Chains A and B, each alone.
Chain A
């Protein structure tokens, strides 16, 4: 079946630096992508989404980039803060049934 995967299971950054979390997806027909943040003991929290007809979308301190040619999605966090420490998931939507397919997650650790 289709799957979404992340390149690195863990990422450690210094407070104040920018973070880049990557995601590879396999279904070229997926038309919608979402990034979620999951803190310890909590459920996934929506961060930002992007449609397949866009290459880039910006939010507050976060930017999502979509490269459909290589089926790659990334989440950039500017000026990373300790509160950004969490597991980050990407998800793609199957354009046939509308189901979300989740990646395994990348654990981001921010060092003070």
Chain B
């Protein structure tokens, strides 16, 4: 039990499809993150939300659209994706207001394949 749950675990979609990734955290954290993990590359931060407000957009293409309806849920809406978007998408959460040194806790990711 990681405390951060991501669904679906695997997703295959065409470039013209629209789909959404979901993340839910049960840790009572107030910050949530989306990362992209490609093979042989470091984790890339995509978006950060603090108390439901987006505080970071790391130059992510508009075909990725995040949504954070509350501190426990985070979505990543996908549309018109490209083959290079195939990757593992990881959600994380943390509690920054408990002090500066709080690690991020990750879900197990959604493995996304674009046909």
Contact = CB atoms under 8 A, between A and B. Distances in A.
- Whether chains A and B associate is yes
A34 B105 CA distance: 11
A69 to B, nearest CB: 22
Given A104-B40, A104-B42, A43 B2 contact: yes
A41 B108 contact: yes
B4 to A, nearest CB: 7
Contacts, number: 49
A99 B45 contact: yes
Interface residues of A, number: 24
Interface of B: 2, 4, 6, 40-43, 45, 48, 56, 90, 92, 96, 100-101, 103-109
A84 B99 CA distance: 30
A100 B2 contact: no
A41 B37 CA distance: 12
A34 B107 contact: no
B108 A51 contact: no
Contacts of B103: 34, 46, 49
Given A49-B103, A98-B96, A103-B42, 15 more contacts: A34-B103, A42-B108, A43-B92, A43-B106, A43-B107, A43-B108, A43-B109, A44-B43, A46-B104, A97-B56, A98-B100, A99-B56, A100-B104, A102-B42, A104-B42
A20 B92 CA distance: 27
The 6 closest A-B pairs by CB, nearest first: A43-B106, A102-B43, A102-B42, A43-B108, A46-B103, A44-B106
